[in-house]
Amino acid sequence: MTQDIPTIHTEHPVHLPENDLSTLSDAPIVAFPNAMQAANVCPAIEIPVKLDDPVARISAYLRCKLGLLRKRADRRHSGFASYIAFFRELLAGPRSVGAVCPSSSYLAQAMAAELDNTDDGLVLELGAGTGSITSALLQRGIAPERLVVVERSTALAAHLRRRFPAVRVIEGDARQLDELLGSDRGRVGAVVSGLPLRSLSHATVNEIARQIHRLLPEGGVFVQFTYDLSKSSGCADMALNRARTRVIWKNLPPARVDTYIQAGGKFMPLPRN
């Protein structure tokens, strides 16, 4: 006596993975009932199918729901881990962090938007912290292979590698960019900085500005934010030309994004305030 095997009738070949709970959330869902698809229960479905078997319908539904739950859990875990990493760093060295909370998505998106017209070269991010701006750059369309992140904190660099495995993360000091980048130092087309320049020494800021001036080609873009709305961001006024400035009121606290363009010429050390 042969056992009846449920049959799935589709317009295209369909592959349904084994119903193993350990793999369900990773399984690509290529079949789903038309009614559920029309109701947008699982918007990832692209192939129209007709499932006549109740077992197959339930299996497809469970795979979809488990996949959605896993994605939500991953997002929540990533956000929670970022806050933990930030506050650990804040307690260890408040002056090196220079903020009371991570950069908001509003600030990160505003900074990433300044790079919309930079299609060539590497994008160098300085002081990435927990990765708010890194995430915004990737969402804005910067390919992972174009993005190089420099973070001095060992703990935060490790956090960034876990969060963005496809992005090159370098643990090091922004005063030594020439050495850190090696043969890639001639490929940088834009620099985005989350460094707390107002809390750093005058000599340190001068050296960082000198490094950025060396790396950027003529027409290269440098983006920096500051929480001090009454003054410039403090890194490139004498080395680069400030092209745009924008206040992000929704950030906590409000921050200003300054965008500079490399005009070439000799680097001029920044004067003391």
Of 194, 260, 203, nearest to 227 by C-alpha is: 194
Of 56, 44, 42, nearest to 9 by C-alpha is: 56
Q: Which pLDDT value is given to residue 28?
A: 41
Q: Which residue ranges of the chain lie beneath pLDDT 70?
A: 1-53, 55-56, 59, 62-63, 65-102, 231-239, 265-266, 268-273
Q: Which pLDDT value is given to residue 117?
A: 79
Taking only the tens place, the pLDDT of each residue in 212-254 is 999 999 899 999 998 888 866 655 555 678 889 999 999 988 9
Q: In CATH terms, is domain 95-261 a member of 3.30.200.20?
A: no
Taking only the tens place, the pLDDT of each residue in 46-68 is 444 445 667 667 767 766 766 66
Q: Which pLDDT value is given to residue 173?
A: 95
Q: Is the dihedral of CA 140, 147, 217, 106 positive or negative?
A: positive
Q: Where are the domains of the chain?
A: 30-92, 95-261
Q: Which pLDDT value is given to residue 114?
A: 95
